[in-house]
Amino acid sequence: MLRYRCPQCGAFSVRGEECPGCGAGRREGAEKKPEQALIRESTIFYCDACQVPVWDSVCPRCGGEARAVTSDLRPVFPEERLLMEILLGKPLAYLNSSVWFGGGRYLIDGAPVTVRSWKSADAGAVREELERYREQNTPEADFLTPWVEANRERYQYITAEATQAIREAAKGYSIGQMFVSFSGGKDSTVTSDLVMRAMGTPSVIHLYGDTTLEFPETEEYAASFRRRHPKTPFMTAKNEDKDFFSMCEVVGPPSRVMRWCCTVFKTGAITRRIEGIFPGERKILSFQGIRRSESTTRAGYSRMSENSKISKQVSFSPIIDWLDFDVWLYLLTREREEHSGVSFNEAYRKGYTRVGCWCCPNNSEWSTFLTKVHHPEQYERWRRQLIAFARKVGKPDPEVYVDEGGWKARQGGNGLEISRRMVMEYTPCVTRENTLNFSLARPVEPALYELFRPFGEPDFEMGNPRLGEVYILDRDRMPILRLQGRTGKTELKVSVLRMPFAGCRNLYEAEQKIRCQLAKYQICLGCSACVSVCTHDAIRVRETGGSYPAYTIDNRRCTRCGRCVSHFDGGCYMRDVIRIKTGGQDS
């Protein structure tokens, strides 16, 4: 059973959009903070007679009474069950049992079992035990088919509701204006199947974001999906220019509050691929496997919304209100249907609950333990890199810092060489009105003027070349800014000649926007976040092999909207990643 409760008036709803009583909560198309979202309440029941979880308090299979056991659960496959048994010191003890996981504990034939020994277990010894009993790990009992049969009505309901919602969301879009965002995880697999069924065609584009940090099982599953769906256009978005481990050397490892890797290796790569697949399209529809039950943050997500990271993308999440129970019910029901072509990532059989990047700072301790067991080479390589980083930034006990997860909570670029690029001294000019003097960390080069195109067009003829003067002109060819800085020098003088400009009403606002672009000039690492937010495809970022990428703005496309200037705090996404604090203030 699933329902949402309004924190304001207490009214209940079957959907998490907005309260039917007082209208509070989150409305379609507008994300809210987690505390503003409706509160999800769910209950899963267990039928002891049939030995299966069910959706309601009466078992549809036998008609008997079922008891409440948890708020959500998932099936445990033989591979994870054997791991659990080894951790309990009882290999193959539950070979033919009905095993589930929910609420932080296992449910074995309806009885709760808690396993904590994995936190101190020797991953190598566990790996040896798994191999020792692997061939014997072939259960005769099938507890999943009775579960599918008992919850047939729930499957039919969620499938029909999602199918209708997909068709409604797709109105106004052609097949060539939509795609499925495919990750190789269970949620995107369900979304993919639902969309192709709802649209009545396998020809919906699938865009696979290869972050270069996928689990081996995910890479294998993506390849098998392509083989099983030969009529489905399956395209890959991958950042070929950047190396994750090299980036970590420069900006440090990602953390829970600084997941720069998503911007560099996922959003940026997908944006560039979208531009190639959908040239000239102002809006495209993306089907995504996002669910509110995944996290507190996603509890406030809307089913349909404008994507703030990719400007031309409208996102629709057909399974937004589904639980793990629903996702697995759908997958295992469809897997049992002849010619459905539905399967799932093998990593879930081993006990993984999410199959994003294997080194993600958001991975749980359990996920890290599984990687130690099943992928020791990747685990050890990442651990060595983290320890090297900890030593470089002066952590007193690097191994403890890494093993206890301290790196996951880090903030800013303290101790990193690149943080020096952040330095930018500024003083008002005492001899010229509305003039700002800057001392930059990066010498003045022709690339500097490209960053001023969101304000106007650079003119190199009007000014005095001996003084390094360049004027920025508006659409009427009238000067609005004068830049004065000699090539190779770090001193730059910026004079505001007309006000208002670029939405600035006073010198303070002008200074803030100018500082945004100068910050971008000094610290750009080619993350492509600016490319993603530009609604006019005007920005290009290209690797040059030097210290800085080539950042260009197409003057024919740029409308001077200023989105690339104001969208990110301080003008640049990477600023937050590498900024340092001194005396409680940002440098």
Whose tokens are 């106007």? That residue is 456
- pLDDT confidence of residue 576: 74
Task: Provide the 8-state DSSP code for 34.
Answer: G
* CA 423/CA 514 separation, integer angstroms: 15
526 closest CA partner among 207, 181, 246: 246
pLDDT of residue 543: 86
H-run or E-run covering 248: helix 244-251
Crossing angle of helices 152-169 and 186-199, in 10° steps, is 70
| Per-residue pLDDT, 585 | 39
Angle between helices 376-392 and 244-251 (to 10 degrees): 20
Q: Are 492 and 483 in contact (CB under 8 A)?
A: yes
Task: List Cα–Cα distances, 554 to 288, 537, 549, 558, in angstroms.
Answer: 31, 8, 16, 6
Look at domain 151-350 and name its CATH class. Answer: alpha beta
Its pTM stands at 0.87
Domain ranges of the chain: 45-148, 151-350, 418-586
Residues with Cβ < 8 Å from 435, sequence gap 6 or more?
428, 429, 493, 494, 495, 496
Q: What is the dihedral of CA 260, 266, 268, 273, to 10 degrees?
A: 170
Which stretches in the chain have pLDDT values below 50? 26-30, 34-35, 582-587
How far is Cα 373 from Cα 359, in angstroms, rounded to an integer? 14
The per-residue DSSP string of 495-556 comes to EE-SSSBTTB-SHHHHHHHHHHHHHHHHH-----HHHHH-TTS-EEEE--SSSS-EEEE-TT
Contacts (Cβ under 8 Å, ≥6 apart) of 197: 163
Cis amide leading into 78 (omega within 30)? no
Burial environment of residue 52 by CB neighbours within 10 A (0 to 12, 13 to 18, 19 or more) = buried
Alpha helices (H) in 134-242, listed in sequence order = 144-150, 152-169, 186-199, 216-228
